[in-house]
Amino acid sequence: MSNLIEARNRMVERQIIRRGITSANVAAAFRRVPREAFVPDNLQEFAYEDSPLPIESGQTISQPYIVALMLEAAALKPTDRVLEIGAGSGYAAAVMSQMVKKVYAVERHDELTLLARERIRRLGYDNIELRTGDGTRGWPEAAPFDAILAAAGGPVVPAALSRQLAIGGRLIMPVGEDLTHQRLVKLTRTSETEYDEEDLGAVRFVPLIGEFGWTAAEAPTAPIRRRPPTQALEGPTEERLTELMAAAAEPLPDFDDPAFGALFDRFASARVVLLGEASHGTSEFYRARAAITRRLIEKHGFTIVAVEADWPDAASIDRYVRHRAQPRHAEPAFRRFPAWMWRNTDVEAFIEWLRARNETLPAERRAGFYGLDIYNLGASMRAVIDYLDRVDPGAAKVARERYGCLTPWSREPAAYGRMAMTSGYARCEKPVLAMLNDLLSRQLEYVRHDGEEFLDAAQNARLVKSAEAYYRAMYFGATESWNLRDRHMFETLEQVLAAKGPQSKAVIWAHNSHIGDASFTEMGQVRDELNIGQLCRERFGLQAALIGFGTHAGTVACATDWDGPMEVKEVQPSLPESYEHLAYDCGVSRFLLDLRKGKHDHLRHRLIRSRLERFIGVIYRPETERWSHYSECSLPRQFDAYVWFDRTRAVEPLPTKTRRGVLETYPFGL
Ligand code: SAH
């Protein structure tokens, strides 16, 4: 509940005020009305997204910003009586009711009128009157109105409506000769016979259907409105864009062909090469990243593979690939949800390759495997204690005591965050910080035993410290915890680079949402989220290469809910307004697109304006795909290159049963 209120305030701040709506009354009205009460149940979690959402009767609830724009343009006053045409969910009427004396709202679908009336009654707004009817005729009995707002677009402003304006009254309506593209028009009635007209810009609304609007036959299906101006406005130039893209696309050979990796040599001078993925369960993304990484390791001196996985789990893979001894009670890696992300045949093949290659090299030239993520708190605490048991039993006792504070919560750390928030004090913050500081202050003494083991222990202690803060931050909201996690990932990367020396170079495998520069996506622009890609650019400049991945359709390994079983689902074909669809339309089935400045500048320029981009993580919900998985990004700014596969298939998870005859040290503990 409080999360929704926060989301609402954030929505007002970022989507409305930052975009230039200056009226304090408009902002205050949006702060009061719960948008989640006006959308279908299954979309409530998206209620404060920056977009229109589908509602009953095949209609849409408007994007908050566009409602705000109209309300501001209408210059509403507390004494005003207002008419709304196209009440839909009732949301805009509810917001207006907070600003004026009385709202009259007409909706042509009776189902919507009934639903809206019920919502408004429940929320206790008593100055709204709703009825079903043809709004193009207005509401003559209640006229004249100080303002009239139409939430649907017609070919002209119906005379019936302009006549129902009071002198001095304002009418705001989308008007356009085609069904889906309109200009937002403002009419101000200056006298009995005269009106001023103002153009407020391009918009896209559902059609106004009625006697003085479009006929139902002319408007068979209602498209969803998007923020103005939209890409589709460009019509014929769209074709040329796919041609430009096809010309720049460099086809990709087989994964096993050395030419595959060689295509990426151009990025090899970077200190960090970040390889993304558009889902956590697509085989092609793993195989492509493996091929690129093999090349960077073999030909270009990269010795660090750092992945979006938990440090202690990756550490046991690292011991395996670098032929280092496993600790006595080593836990099998990656047993927790989502296990398929790392326990799959593609990762296994890469790890076997790395181990075999390392075997031929002296220890200092072997490439290691490191985890950047934050989640395995329990294993990290155990690893620190085990380490100290070996090198400093006295300190191990202290560690047991200090971590004892968090131990009861290690299976359900979110509950710790809740406790810390409700009791108002972070009980374990000091002890975990003290533990890290102790460990670091004895670095010189400890590294005498073994530098690698020290790095591992120190990193685990850092993870415990970050995780303690992370679970508390969860209660301040998604942005804070996301930022804390990505900062931790970045700092871990820096630690590993520093440990390996000034010449060290790293390949990073993480989701597009982590490695694509967040400041050019909705993540950064609307939600204030940063990520490791952005931090790498800030720190390494041109020495950071950010490479995104994408696909049109196929299958993906995923879950429906967090902690749910792995499923293989069909990936829906990409949406028409997305970058993915452009890539698909250019007709090259798998390619590399170099997006760096100076390569294909004309294309780059044409791609810069934001479009939709699909993000599938561990969870995939095709039913609500547009709202759960797409957001607006500027691809050429987000990435330095884009790797494309038209069709992709799900990763194959490794069996979890015990297999006989496998090396005991095998990290997946098969
Ligand atoms: N203000 C609404 C937006 C709804 S979308 C909200 O905040 O949710 C526009 C609505 O206009 C649709 O519900 C559609 O059914 C309705 N509509 C279209 N033509 C109409 C007409 N002639 N009279 C009344 N409603 C109309």
Q: Domain boundaries in the chain? A: 2-227, 232-302+505-670
Residue 118 has pLDDT above 70, yes or no: yes
The mean pLDDT value for 103-110 works out to 97
| Dist. CA 567 → ligand 1 center (Å) | 39
Per the model's pLDDT, the better-predicted residue between 228 and 669 turns out to be: 669
- pTM of the model as a whole: 0.75
Closest atom of ligand 1 to 92 CA is: 7
Greater confidence, 533 or 218? 533
Q: How far is CA 315 from CA 348, 390, 517, in A?
A: 15, 17, 27
Q: Model confidence over 17-70: pLDDT tens digits? A: 988 899 999 999 999 999 999 999 888 888 998 888 889 988 889 889 999 999
Residue to probe by mutation, ligand 1, list 85, 97, 106, most atoms within 8 Å of CB? 85
pLDDT at residue number 230: 34
Q: Kindly state if the Cβ of 92 falls inside 6 Å of ligand 1.
A: yes
**Residue with the nearest Cα to atom 4 of ligand 1?**
88
Smallest CA separation from ligand 1 atom 11, residue: 86
112 lines ligand 1 (CB under 6 A): yes
Nearest CA to ligand 1 atom 14: 86
Given this chain, do its domains 2-227 and 232-302+505-670 carry the same CATH topology?
Answer: no
Please, what CATH class does the domain formed by 232-302+505-670 belong to? alpha beta
CA of 107 to the centre of ligand 1 (A): 5
Residue 295 has pLDDT above 90, yes or no: yes
Q: What is the CA(34)–ligand 1 centre distance, in A?
A: 20
Long-range contacts of 477-482 (CB under 8 A, 24+ apart): 477/3, 477/6, 478/527, 479/527, 479/528, 479/529, 482/529
107 in ligand 1 pocket by Cβ < 6 Å? yes
**pLDDT(665) > 50:** no
Decide whether any atom of ligand 1 lies within 6 Å of the 63 Cβ.
no
Q: What is the pLDDT of residues 305-353, one digit of tens each?
A: 999 999 999 999 999 999 998 887 677 888 888 999 999 999 999 999 9
Ligand 1 nearest atom to the CA of residue 109, by list position? 15
> Which residue minimizes the CA distance to atom 6 of ligand 1?
61
Burial class for 396, CB neighbours closer than 10 Å (0-12, 13-18, 19+): middle
**Residue 548: strand, helix, or coil:** strand
Instruction: Please report the pLDDT score of residue 2 as a whole number.
Output: 65
Check whether 239 has a pLDDT greater than 90: no
CA distance 166 to 164: 7
Section 452-479 average pLDDT: 91
And the tokens for 509? Answer: 């495998």
Q: What are phi and psi of 399, to 5 degrees?
A: -60, -40
Q: Is the pLDDT confidence value at 92 over 80?
A: yes
Query: Beta-strand (E) ranges in 216-328?
Result: 250-251, 272-275, 304-310
Q: CB of 209 closer than 6 A to ligand 1? A: yes
Q: What atom in ligand 1 is closest to the CA of residue 61?
A: 8
- Answer yes or no: is pLDDT of 221 > 70: no
Listed residue (234, 185, 221, 179) closest to 204, CA to CA: 179
Task: Give the pLDDT band (50/70/90) at residue 659.
Answer: very low
Predicted local confidence at residue 219, as pLDDT: 67
Q: Is 85 in the pocket of ligand 1 (CB under 6 A)?
A: yes
Q: pLDDT at position 660, please?
A: 41
Instruction: Provide the pLDDT confidence category of residue 525 given band limits of 50, 70 and 90.
Output: confident
For a mutational test of ligand 1's pocket, the pick from 39, 59, 149, 180, i.e. the residue with the most ligand atoms closer than 8 A to its C-beta, is: 59
Average pLDDT in the chain: 91
Who contacts 283 (Cβ-Cβ below 8 Å, separation ≥6)?
Answer: 344, 346, 648, 649, 650, 651, 652
pLDDT computed for residue 464 by the predictor: 96
Residue 151 Cα to ligand 1 middle (Å): 6
Residue 657 in this model has a pLDDT that exceeds 70:
no
Q: Which residue has the tokens 């500027």?
A: 634
**pLDDT tens digit string along 149-183?**
999 999 999 999 999 999 999 999 999 887 777 88
Q: What percent of the chain has pLDDT over 90?
A: 74
Mean pLDDT, range 383-412, rounded to an integer: 93
Q: What is the CA radius of gyration of the chain?
A: 29
Ligand 1 in reach of 89 Cβ (< 6 A): yes
49 CA from centroid of ligand 1 (Å): 20
Q: Which amino acid is at 169?
A: G
pLDDT of residue 237: 54
- 427-432 average pLDDT score: 92
Report the amino acid identity of residue 463: L
Cβ(86) – ligand 1 distance below 6 Å:
yes
> Catalytic site residues?
62
Mutate to test the pocket of ligand 1, among 39, 60, 67, 107 (most ligand atoms within 8 A of CB): 107
Is residue 140 reached through a cis peptide bond, with omega within 30 degrees of 0 on the bond before it?
no
Q: Is the pLDDT of residue 234 over 60?
A: no
Determine if ligand 1 sits within 6 Å of the CB of residue 204: no
Question: Which of 206, 221, 224 is the pocket-test mutation for ligand 1 (most atoms within 8 Å of CB)?
Answer: 206
User: Which residue's alpha carbon is at the smallest distance from atom 17 of ligand 1?
Assistant: 86
Of the segments 406-415, 419-428, 466-475, 580-589, which one has the largest average pLDDT value?
A: 580-589
User: What is the pLDDT, as a whole number, of residue 440?
Assistant: 95
Asked if 53 contacts 39 with a C-beta cutoff of 8 angstroms, the reply is: yes
208 CA distance to ligand 1 centroid (A)? 7
Residue 251 has pLDDT above 50, yes or no: yes
Which of 71-85, 472-486, 634-648 is predicted least confidently? 472-486
**pLDDT-derived band at 233, boundaries 50, 70, 90:** very low
The verdict on the CB of residue 158 being under 6 Å from ligand 1 is no
Return the CATH class of domain 2-227.
alpha beta
Could you give the angle at the alpha carbon of 393 between the alpha carbons of 392 and 398, nearest 5°?
A: 100
